[in-house]
Structure 1
Amino acid sequence: MMKNNPSISRFLSCLYRHTQMYFDRQLQPYEISYGSLAFLMVLFHHDGIHQEEISQKLSVDKATTARAIQKLVELGYINRVVDQCDRRAYQIFLTARGKALRPQLEALTRKWTAHLTDGFTAAEIEQSFRLLEKMSQNARRFKNLL
């Protein structure tokens, strides 16, 4: 345990706020916010995924996903299509305009990660990712206990 047992939440909150400010500023030309970025990143790797699966992958409620999807549809970055096998479900597909964003958004993400890990060794970066992944898993598991 660290001296004086500092709250990890304080550090996570600081990281989140600064990350949000960085991306909100960088994403202005595309008319999207940091909140929309996660939805697009999921689609870059899982184009055609069901809307409900996006909610699960991002650990957000269905209403949040529906609002984000609607905004991205309005901006022309994605299409929402009724699933032919299950007419109650929707598949989400990137449009050509949405696919064209991928290089820019991935570059912004790499740039921010490089900034956050400035001065880290390769081993420290790898360990940081492993520890953050483990914390995320712990948080999800705890959420499921509530």
Structure 2
Amino acid sequence: MSEVDQMPGHLIRRFQQIAVAIFHAEVAKTGVDLTPVQYAAMAKIAEIDGVDQATLAGLIAYDRATITGVVDRLVQKGYIERVVSTRDRRARELHLTDTGCDIFAKVSPAVLQAQKSMLAGLDGAEQSELLRLMAKAIAAGNEQSRAPLKTD
């Protein structure tokens, strides 16, 4: 291996390329057009019904400008809706629509299969260790990100 092939940034970028390709291939089998970040947004909205857009951005580690486009596309597809918050008229609560709930249920098994496929070259202990180490490295560098993950 050359020096660049051993650099963590290069390896992470390659793994991201592979992960996105696998995600798209698995989700395409369902006939649904959905990106990984759109799925993450829908998953978090399903988990926290009525979450506001700014909080959603922090919960999935995306900047506010990017999350606006993601939410706009999900609204256009009819998967989520924005509702003016009863607590803060400036905020918009996000809810899955009935169609969004159906789509989320339809693609979730494909997304789970994609996660398994991404780690197929590793045995169970190696998969657990890789995920543990990735989470540790991400936690250590979280505040250096342009869009840090907000856990509270």
- TM bin (shorter chain): 0.7 to 0.9
Q: 1:124 Cα deviation (Å)?
A: 2.0
**SS of the counterpart of 1:14?**
helix
Q: Which has the higher contact order (CA 8 A, sep 6+)?
A: 2
Q: Which residue of 1 aligns with 2:150?
A: none
Say yes or no: does 1:22 pair with 2:26: no
More helix by share: 1
Aligned residue identity for 1:108: A
Residue of structure 2 equivalent to 1:48? 50
Q: Cα distance, 1:102 vs. partner?
A: 2.5
Partner of 1:68: 70
Provide the rounded CA distance (Å) in 2 between the counterparts of 1:4 and 1:58.
29
Between 108-117 and 63-72, the greater mean CA deviation after superposition = 108-117
**TM-score, normalising length from structure 1?**
0.84
Q: Which runs of 5+ in 2 are unaligned?
A: 147-152
Cα RMSD over matched residues?
2.3
Kept in 1, the 8 Å contact 2:32–2:107? The answer is no
Deviation at 1:26, TM superposition (A): 4.1
Is residue 125 of structure 2 the alignment partner of residue 123 of structure 1?
Answer: yes
CA contact (8 A) 2:50 2:95 kept: yes
Q: Give yes or no for contact 1:27–1:34 (8 Å, CA) kept in 2.
A: no
Q: CA deviation at 1:119?
A: 4.5
Contact 1:50/1:92 (CA < 8 Å) preserved in 2?
yes
CA distance in 1, matches of 2:119, 2:22: 15
Trace 1:1-146 onto structure 2 (pairs within 5 A).
6-28=6-28, 29-143=31-145
TM score, norm. by length of structure 2: 0.81
Structure 1 runs not aligned, ≥5 long: none
Conserved? CA contact 2:75–2:81, under 8 Å: yes
Q: Label 1:4 to 1:59 Cα distance change in 2 as closer, same or farther (>3 A).
A: closer
When structure 1 is superposed on structure 2, of 70-79 and 11-20 the one drifting more is: 11-20
- Cα–Cα, structure 1 residues 71 and 118, in superposed 2: closer, same or farther, change >3 Å? same
Partners in 1 of 2:37 and 2:87 — Cα distance?
Answer: 30
Q: How many residues align?
A: 142
Q: Is the 8 A contact 1:42 1:54 kept in 2?
A: yes
1:4 Cα deviation from its structure 2 partner: 9.4
Distance in 2 of aligned mates of 1:8 and 1:132: 11
Q: Which runs of 4+ in 1 moved over 6 A?
A: none
Shift of residue 65 of structure 1?
0.9
